[in-house]
Amino acid sequence: KNVTRRFSVNQPLFSAAPRELTAVHDVNLSIEKGTTLGLVGESGCGKSTLAKIVAHLLPPTSGDVLLEGKSIWHADSAMKRSLPRRIQMIFQDPVSSLNPRKSIGKSIQEALDVHRVGSSADRKKVVTDLLERVGMRAEHYVRYPHEFSGGQRQRIAIARSLVLNPDFIVCDEAVSALDVSVQAQVLNLLAELQKDFGLTYMFISHDLAVVGHVSDIIAVMYLGRLVELASAQTLFDNALHPYTQMLLAAVPVPVPGRRSASDVQTGDLPSPLTPPKGCPFNPRCTRAMPVCREETPNWLEVDKNHHVLCHLYG
C-alpha cells in the first residue's frame, strides 16, 4: 500500500546531482491468496527493492505491506515473530544462499533446528520428504551444494524456502540463470507446490514470457512506478501502456514474419537518479504528447481490474 522507498546516494562534494533517488514510487497492488502476481520490468526499475520490502527484508520509506490484512512494517510482536516463517524469498543465485561447507540437508534443516521443531530425527524426516517433493532424492541430504547443477540447486533453495511451511514466497529472478528447458521444469514445480501447499507467490522477472507463464495478475514496473496492472490474459491480449506494448513486441514468438526483439527500438533506461520530468517513459515513448513532458499521469482504472499510468487514457 502506497509503498515508497528512497535511498540517499553518496555524491562528490559540490556536485549538483541529487543526493536521493526514489527506487520505488507509491506502489499499490494486492495479491489474492493462492495466486501469483508477476512483476516485470528492466533491471534497475526498482523491482528487487520492492521485492525486499514485500519480503520484510528492507523497510519502506513510507507506506506499508499487509499480510492477510495485517501490517508487516508496523507489526505487533506476535506478527513480528511469525513473519520469518510466513514470508520466504528465493533469489536468482541459489549458490550464494547455500553455505558451501554445509550439506544441503543441514542447510535446509537450519530453520527447523533454530525453531526446535520436533526431535532431530523428525526434522531430518521433514527435510528428506521435502527433497523428494522438489524432485531430489533423500540420499542427497548429506551432499554439498557444489555437487549439484544450477537447476538442482534452485530446487534445493525451493525446498529450503518451504521447510517452515510459509504462506507467501517472493521469487526474485528465480529461474533467470537457468537454461530454458530447466526453467520450464522449475516453473512447473513451483506451480505444483502452489496447488499442494496453497502458496501465494510474487514472481519477479525481467522476462515477460516467463512472468506470463506463471502469473494470474501481472504488474509492469518502470523507473520505480507501476505503469500497468492487469490479469495476465488481459495484458497479453490488450496491453494499453506503450511500455508494456514494447515489452510484448520483444517477447520472441516462433511465428515467421513476426517482429523479434532485435527489430524493436527500445532506447536506454534513464537513470533513476535523474528521472525525466512528466511521464517517466516519455523519452522512449513513440506516442508521447506535449503533456507527457510536463505532467506525471495518474494511476487510472480503465477497466475492471485493469490499471494504467498514461495520458492516453482517461
Q: Residue numbers of the site for Mg ion (CB under 5 A)? A: 48
For residues 163 and 219, which CB has a smaller minimum distance to ligand SF4 in the complex? 219
Write down the least CB distance from residue 308 to ligand SF4, Å. 8
Distances (CA, A) of 52 to 38, 46, 281, 307: 15, 10, 24, 23
Write down the least CB distance from residue 297 to ligand SF4, Å. 5
For residues 48 and 154, which CB has a smaller minimum distance to Mg ion in the complex? 48
Write down the least CB distance from residue 249 to ligand SF4, Å. 15
Strand order in the sheet with 306-309: 87-90, 168-172, 200-205, 36-40, 217-222, 225-231, 306-309, 299-303
Contacts of 271 (CB under 8 A, 6+ apart): none
Write down the least CB distance from residue 311 to ligand SF4, Å. 4
Write down the least CB distance from residue 170 to ligand SF4, Å. 28
For residues 236 and 313, which CB has a smaller minimum distance to ligand SF4 in the complex? 313
Sign of CA dihedral 95, 217, 27, 240: positive
Write down the least CB distance from residue 291 to Mg ion, Å. 32
C-alpha closest to that of 49 among 33, 67, 70, 25: 25
For residues 42 and 93, which CB has a smaller minimum distance to ligand SF4 in the complex? 42
- What does 202 interact with, of ligand SF4, Mg ion, none (CB < 5 to 8 A by kind)? none
For residues 131 and 292, which CB has a smaller minimum distance to ligand SF4 in the complex? 292
- What does 48 interact with, of Mg ion, ligand SF4, none (CB < 5 to 8 A by kind)? Mg ion
Ranked by CB distance to Mg ion, the top (closest) residue is 48
Q: What is the DSSP string of 160-191?
A: HHHTT--SEEEEESTTTTS-HHHHHHHHHHHH
C-beta separation of 205 from 42 below 8 A: no
For residues 43 and 265, which CB has a smaller minimum distance to Mg ion in the complex? 43
Residues near ligand SF4, by CB under 6 A = 241-242, 279, 281-282, 285, 287-289, 292, 297, 310-312
Question: Can you tell me the distance from the alpha carbon of 314 to that of 308, in angstroms, rounded to the nearest whole number?
Answer: 10
Cα–chain-centroid distance for residue 281?
A: 21
